[in-house]
Chains A and B, each alone.
Chain A
Amino acid sequence: MTTATVNFSETDDGLFTPEEIRQLMRLEYDRARRYRYPASLLLVAVDRLESLQDLYGWESKEEILQAVIKALRATTRDSDFLGCMHDGRILTVFPHTDEKAITSIATRLLGICRALDFRTDGRALRATVSIGAAILVEDSELEFEHFVEIAEEAVTFALASGGDRFVRREAADDVIDRLRDEIDAEADRLVQDRIRIQEAAERETSAPEIASPLTPPILGTRPHSGDAADSELAKAIAAVFRDGSADPFALEADILAIAEEHVRREREAAVSAALAEHGKQVDLLERRVRKLKGLLDETGAELSRIATLKGLDSGIASIYRTVQGLSPDEDRLQEKREMLTLIFEANLDLQKKKRRS
């Protein structure tokens, strides 16, 4: 069975083709239902895979996928089925695996993937995965296709929620609530950070002139290379000694003036550098807030979608199981029937006119 190895990369991964894996899984699924043993299905997707490919090329994407497949192999048994779906999602069926066991497997897989180390163009990349699970419960009447849909829904939700997480379909509500709280908290925290940094920057910009220019700058270390400035300072002092007045008081005044000018420049440069740094931080935080906002919007849309899906089978049942019609015991049965026939005929006529037009 390991000879069927067609994959998205066309390399020999030992994965089943989508058709084969579906066929095998359907058989396994039917068997599990028939003999009433637990089975679970995992759908694993690498977070932001398309973006990774756009940014770092096809090779990087492929490298990451292979590493994830390897990690998945390390966490599965020989009796488990691994296959790939289109768009790089990996589908796995775990016979005799209940909710507790599948949670453990998924958690382990998440940890392994987090620890994976990729380097592209000298930069370290962090690749994470989103995992959706569907768990076959006893007496389930779900068809296999529906079972896969549940896992797809879970992994889509995990991806939309920011990735790097495991979502069981049954626990979707809790996850939604928790994610919403987490995103809200993170957004609040970032907003607070931004306010704090902006306030600090404003304080520094509006800080009163320091009484003496000799007072050291309040911000950090010297921002630019001290060598050139020091050398310039030394030359200036040397020139004063060489060409300046013989009067020691005048000499002192000249040197102080030079030092004063030097410190002033240093201080201005330090303040500018600190402001630039703060500006960068603010930009970064703003980007993060925007990103989280986008995520929040996506999550909101997903919530609406799930709510809509949930609503599919809800609604209030009618009191009638079958079409009714006039009761034979109805008062003035014939009169009413004629009236209803006239209404029907008028509507039929309307429908015909509409079709003709």
Chain B
Amino acid sequence: MTDEENKDHGVLYLGIDLGTSRTSVSASNGVRETVASYVGYPKDVVAQKLLKRDVLFGADAVKHRLSLNFYRPLQHGVLKASSKEDDYEGNLRAARDLIAEAIRMAQPRKDELVYAVIGAPAQAQINNKEAIIDAARETVDSVMLCSEPFAVAYGLDWLDDVLVIDIGAGTVDLCRMHGTMPEDTDQITLTTAGDFVDEEFGKLVAAAHPEAQFTVQMIRGIKERFASVADEMERAVAELPVKGKPTEFDLTDPLREACRKIVPPIVEGLGELVSTFDPEFQSRLKNRVLLAGGGSMIKGLDNAIQQEMHRTLGEGKVVRIEEPIYGGANGALKIAHDMPEEYWEQLK
């Protein structure tokens, strides 16, 4: 921001939830937007002419992925760019562009200061964090990172004796809040998240219907539409090609089974956090469990976790937050709003 001295017309706060499958932004101008965390660049001049853009995001990128160098820059909740494997430069560039797009979606004005808090995965590596900050600094005046599950809890003002379950595509973050900033011992990150469900669902479908042809994208689409862990659920009937011919399959049982596989690791993690907490407050902790993140939209998941807690921990009460998609972004926005001015100034 070169014309900082002209930014005297207001302050725009941004809360960004940078997720493996979805990036959401909430802003103090009332904008709330979300985009799937996919980035694509036209493979050649022909594709560029056809698509008429240099970079595509979200559903657009997925739709045209065959014409694109296609990136999903976050994996298991961290930037793929952190490893030197794969396409390091490409993933880093995609992550930068994705963050810039999230900020652009908030429609900031040129004459306003823009302060952003980005919810980063709870156990993101330091080089991940640096890459995220670098990307954001190109378009905002000052930026901070905070842990995603903490942002969810802060946004709801649940700061005491709370267990937060933030189910994303790459990771499930479990966080124990006890009136102070959670430390490393208060957080557990599992990889049995949305992508894991997709993988398991794919395996089960392939085993049950070896003749069906499908991709991860197709499997993910079916999951997002029908996902449930309930005994009684809407029949997950979907068309998959068999030797080129669209054929209808009932995938209800494989889907339910795949979705249920994430419950035991979550409850096991919760048990670990509960058992290492002050015994006097363990019961209160078990009865204040917040379920957040895109994965929390699996139907019946709150009840399934609650039942599993009753079975293994003796009790438990799980509350699903009202806006799973924007829970992290709203919390990050509240942190940005509450942050004192001098802190922002020092980080410029």
List residues of chain A with CB under 8 Å of any chain B CB.
300, 312-326, 330-332, 335-344, 346-348, 350-351, 353-354
Contacts and interface: CB of A to CB of B under 8 A. Distances in A.
B9 A343 contact: no
Contact of A318 (B10, B180, B181): B10
Given A331-B157, A348-B347, A350-B129, A317 B110 contact: no
Nearest to B14: A318
A343 B144 contact: yes
A350 B133 CA distance: 10
Closest 5 CB pairs of A and B: A315-B109, A318-B12, A323-B341, A316-B29, A342-B181
Given A321-B11, A331-B157, A343-B339, 11 more contacts: A315-B29, A317-B10, A322-B11, A323-B115, A325-B340, A326-B338, A335-B179, A343-B181, A347-B347, A350-B133, A354-B133
B259 to A, nearest CB: 34
B10 A339 contact: no
A317 B29 contact: yes
A338 B340 CA distance: 11
Contacts of A350: 126, 129-130, 133, 145
Interface residues of B, number: 42
Contacts of A319: 28-30
Given A323-B344, A344-B347, A317 B109 contact: yes
B55 to A, nearest CB: 13
Given A323-B113, A335-B179, A343-B181, A318 B339 contact: no
Contacts of A314: 107, 109
A321 B126 CA distance: 34
Nearest to B109: A315
Interface string B93-126: 0000000000000011111110100000000001
Contacts of B12: 318, 320
Interface of B: 9-13, 27-31, 52, 107-113, 115, 126, 129-130, 133, 144-146, 154, 157, 159, 179-181, 335, 337-341, 343-344, 346-347
Nearest to A325: B340
A316 B347 contact: no
A317 B106 CA distance: 10
B109 A316 contact: yes
A324 B335 CA distance: 11
A325, A326, A331, A332 pick with most chain B CB within 10 angstroms = A325
B154 A339 contact: yes
A354 B110 CA distance: 28
B346 A323 contact: no
Nearest to A351: B347
B133, B340, B344 pick with most chain A CB within 10 angstroms = B340
Given A315-B109, A318-B29, A340 B343 contact: yes
Nearest to B143: A347
Contacts of A300: 52
A320 B10 contact: yes
B107 A318 contact: no
A155 B347 CA distance: 43
Given A320-B13, A322-B11, A350-B129, A340 B338 contact: yes
A347 B109 contact: no
A343 B337 contact: no
A321 B339 contact: no
A10 B246 CA distance: 76
A351 B107 CA distance: 27
Contacts of B27: 316, 318
Given A340-B340, A340-B343, A324 B11 contact: yes
B109 A336 contact: no
A71 to B, nearest CB: 40
B13 A338 contact: no
Contacts of A336: 159, 338
A323 B341 CA distance: 6
Nearest to A342: B181
13 contacts: A312-B110, A318-B10, A318-B11, A318-B112, A320-B337, A322-B10, A323-B115, A323-B341, A324-B11, A325-B338, A336-B159, A347-B144, A348-B346
Contacts of A338: 180-181
Contact of B30 (A313, A316, A335): A316
Contacts of A340: 335, 338-340, 343
Contacts of A343: 144, 146, 181, 335, 339
A336 B181 CA distance: 9
A331 B10 CA distance: 26
A335 B159 contact: yes
Contacts of B9: 317, 321
B160 to A, nearest CB: 9
Contacts of B337: 320, 324
Contacts of B11: 318, 320-324
Contact of B181 (A316, A331, A339, A354): A339
A353 to B, nearest CB: 7
A335 B112 CA distance: 30
Nearest to A344: B343
Given A344-B347, A350-B129, A354-B133, A313 B10 contact: no
A94 B154 CA distance: 62
A197 B130 CA distance: 62
A81 to B, nearest CB: 31
A322 B339 CA distance: 13
A354 B130 CA distance: 7
Nearest to A336: B338
Contacts of B343: 340-341, 344
Given A316-B30, A320-B11, A339 B180 contact: yes
A246 to B, nearest CB: 75
Contacts of B157: 331
B14 to A, nearest CB: 10
Contacts of B111: 313
A325 B109 contact: no
Contacts of B179: 335
Contacts of B31: 316
A313 B109 contact: yes
Contacts of A348: 346-347
B299 to A, nearest CB: 34
A19 B110 CA distance: 31
Nearest to A313: B110
Contacts of A321: 9-11
